[in-house]
Structure 1
Amino acid sequence: IVDGPISGEVKATTTDAETMVKEGEAIYALDPKHMVVKIPMTAEGLKAIKALSAKGIPTNCTLIFSANQALLAARAGATYVSPFLGRLDDISQRGIELIETIHDMFLNYPDIETRIIAASVRNPIHVTDCALAGADIATVPYKVIEQMLHHPLTDSGIEKFKADYCKVFGE
């Protein structure tokens, strides 16, 4: 149904690399053209990312809250890293700064091909900030997409265009 990549997460209760790899292989087998195995940022998760990447299976390292975690995941072979900017904002840290730092850090290493997925996006400003900060992708809730569609001047402008049309041509 989906044309692009789909992240399928290993079980939240799985904590060892060996089982993460087995689950990851099963997730990937569902649709090798689209599936990306989502692995948590842990020492065992990094081992699983390294093993899956060696098999050509794309991975998404999730629950990234520091640039060092992103670097470790990238060096383990993660296809994507998912820093959670909204959750950082929730604890009074600027989440967008993490996206900027990861982006700038990755530029220092031409061999790193890991892409940045801005996660925990909470509002339209996050989307703009993530794009400016260098995020490759953002996971955006539907309600935020709806908010992005609207602007008071666009909405009032459409009503004005309709009214002007009706004055000249009628309904």
Structure 2
Amino acid sequence: MEFFLDTASLDEIRKCKAYGLIDGVTTNPTLLRKEGQDWRRQMQAICKEVDGPVSLEVVGTTAKEMLAEARELIKFGPNVVIKIPMLLEGLIAVRELHAMDIPTNVTLVFSPMQALLAAKAGATYVSPFIGRLDALGQEGMECIRQIVTIYDNYDIATKVLVASIRHPMHVVESALTGADVATLPFAVIEQLARHPLTDKGLQTFLDDWKALAGDGAGQG
């Protein structure tokens, strides 16, 4: 499974690159606003920094508006993926972009049927938001399981990109389900590497080493 970083922070991107844990990046207007920088320069810098795909989101709500924005966004780099909201107008835009060989990521997906429609339109990625479903009392991972099953049934090439991930178990369950990509906040990526038993074991080794070194010093 690929890991995408859900961020607009160059610092977070560079840290994840050093860890070897970044296959791509997803952004949105909220993340870009959080950085407090000129959004055009920020997106251009991100596209240069990242070797893999970078999802940049349109804000129009009609196909005409989305396509006009997409033509501008692809100028930021050859790795740009156009992020399109799951609307009927969005499906028109996805179909036209697919015909132009421009990759797309259909976002704000909350049901298997939305995911199937996006795939039929030619989406490269589909992004179900599991954390937001969980917050409504629904089971977000069941949505992922259903989408993966449907795609497998019909050999659909669209990749399942699990979004709105809140904690490490979301990542584990996504991997077990067979999702193609998980897009993670930086904090969750850090949590993946941690375990209290790892910390406890390391501290035991360090304490024993200090004691061993002290014994050796006494004998000398």
Q: What range describes the TM-score normalised by the shorter chain of this pair?
A: over 0.9
Deviation at 1:48, TM superposition (A): 0.1
Match of 1:4 in 2: 52
Q: Deviations over 1:20-48 (max 9, x none)?
A: 0111121112112x100000000000000
Aligned partner of 2:67 in structure 1 is 21
Letter in structure 2 aligned against 1:37? I
Q: Which amino acid aligns with 1:8?
A: L
The one-letter code sitting in structure 1 at the alignment partner of 2:198 is: T
Shift >6 Å, 4+ stretches: none
1:148: which partner in 2?
192
For residues 67 and 147 of structure 1, what CA distance do their matches in structure 2 show?
Answer: 29
Structure with greater contact order relative to length (CA < 8 Å, sep ≥ 6): 2
Q: Percent identity?
A: 51
Q: What is the CA–CA distance in structure 2 between the aligned matches of 1:114 and 1:64, rounded to whole Å?
A: 13
> In the aligned structure 2, how far is the partner of 1:71 from the partner of 1:145?
29
Deviation at 1:147, TM superposition (A): 1.8
Could you say what secondary structure the match of 1:78 adopts?
A: coil
Alpha-carbon distance in 2 for matches of 1:24, 1:135? 26
Pick one of 111, 116, 123 that aligns with 1:78: 123
Distance (Å, rounded) in 1 between the aligned partners of 2:139 and 2:200: 34
Partner of 2:184, secondary structure, is coil
**Distance in structure 2 (CA, Å) of the matches to 1:91 and 1:70:** 19
Q: Secondary structure at the match of 1:63?
A: strand
1:95 corresponds in structure 2 to 140
Which residue type is aligned with residue 128 of structure 2?
A: P
Normalising by structure 1, report the TM-score.
0.94
Render the CA deviation track for 1:92-123: whole Å, top value 9, x for unaligned: 0000000110001000112x210011000001
Partner of 1:51: 96
What's the TM-score once normalised by structure 2's chain length?
A: 0.74
SS across alignment from 1:92: coil
In the TM superposition, residue 169 of structure 1 has moved relative to its aligned partner by 2.5
Write the letter of the residue equivalent to 2:135. Answer: D
Cα deviation for residue 78 of structure 1 reads: 0.2
Shift of 1:164: 1.4
> Which runs of no fewer than 5 residues in structure 2 stay unpaired?
1-48
Q: Distance in 2 between matches of 1:166 and 1:41?
A: 58
SS of the residue corresponding to residue 39 of structure 1 reads strand
Matching of residue 166 in structure 1 with residue 210 in structure 2: yes
